[in-house]
Amino acid sequence: MDPDPNGSAEAPAALVLGGGGARAAYQTGVLHYVGEAFPDASMPLMTGVSAGSINAAHLAADPGPWKARTARLVRYWEGLTADDVFAPRSPWAIARSMLWGRPSKTQTLLDTSPLRAYLDRRLPTDDAGRLTGVADNLEAGRLKGLAISTSNYATLQTVTWVQGCSMHDWERPNRVGRRARLGLDHVMASTALPMVFPAVRLDDAWYGDGGLRMLDPLAPAVHLGADRLFVVSTRYERSQAEANRSARTPAYPSLFQMMGILANVLMLDVLEHDAAVLRRINRLVRKLRPGTHEPLRPIDLLVLRPSVDLGALAGDYQMDLGGAMGTLLSSVQWRTDPPPDWWSMLLFQPDYLDRLLEIGYNDARRQHDRIEAFFAREPVDQSTSTFFRS
């Protein structure tokens, strides 16, 4: 939406949800508090990438008021188990497919058909798997736009699929925007971790996790016309003392330690970097004389983060994956590594998910004043970039 003739910005707020696998339960805990404390809150634009696309799709397809939508999203996560998300593939099935078959979905470590079936039961869809609730909410005015980001394996571009809004397709060398009737395939593609979860075919190409090459995760919301971004990150921001303690590694970095580093880079760090860049641009734009910075405009930004390290927390929980991945885990001593970030992304264990829901809710409650300022269109305090630790 464009600014009105009087110069007051009418552009809507956007909810921006990044990746993190099972950590997306933390996002739900934050939104649960927001729904209770601010039942009339309006975030009619929603963007999701990776696991965040699941939460965004739920909220965008739910026809209820904001408070009811966030409460139902909590129930989705409370009832979730690993069996609802994936099924392990046996080492022999993977080896047989790689040695004697053409490249196919069976060459990934985990099968995500249970997740698709679970989403199909939870979300209103038609026979083609399209999210009918999104179209209904757009028509009723409860939603202005939903964007889900994926990675095109052939072109190595980030492709953001958009339903709603009057936006035009955007074209950049490494990221493009396309209008589409969003469905379960778009959500499944956005969550498809390479080698772990199978790719998904959309139109004429194969797509995977939207966070792989997404250097500008806030850009889709800006393209949709938002002037305020409500961002829920699942990345814990360490203190200097914590960073120094982590620097002392007793042994050679293991495979799983390196997997954790890659998981952070792909799913978590880029969003934080983009937020920092946006804050710097905001400061520059606001220093320019009125009328001299068109078409640039400041974008109000609120980023909420965990008060505890969700990766380190995952080390306290057990889960038997089975299959090829379980065999690999059992043959490697990985629990002596630094915080197992990669493990937290696959840990769809009810007790861990419940803990994340609780942490997210309490973190948001402690940030009530900043959230209230955001919805009141008042300047949000940016002096602290993380939650206050209790």
Residues labelled catalytic: 50, 209
What is the spatial distance between Cα 345 and Cα 356, in angstroms, rounded to a whole number?
12
Closest CA to 43 of 27, 26, 56, 24: 56
For the record, the structure tokens of 154 come out as 């052939």
Q: Report yes or no: 15 and 343 within 8 Å, Cβ to Cβ.
A: no
Alpha carbon distances (Å) from 99 to 198, 253, 287 = 18, 30, 61
3-state secondary structure of 13: strand
Phi, psi of 157 (to 5 degrees): -100, 150
Instruction: Check residue 144 and report its DSSP letter.
Output: S
* CA contacts within 13 A on the Cβ side of 320: 1
E strands in the chain: 13-17, 45-49, 87-88, 110-111, 145-152, 158-164, 175-179, 200-202, 205-209, 228-232, 300-304
The closest alpha carbon to 274, from 13, 18, 12, belongs to 18
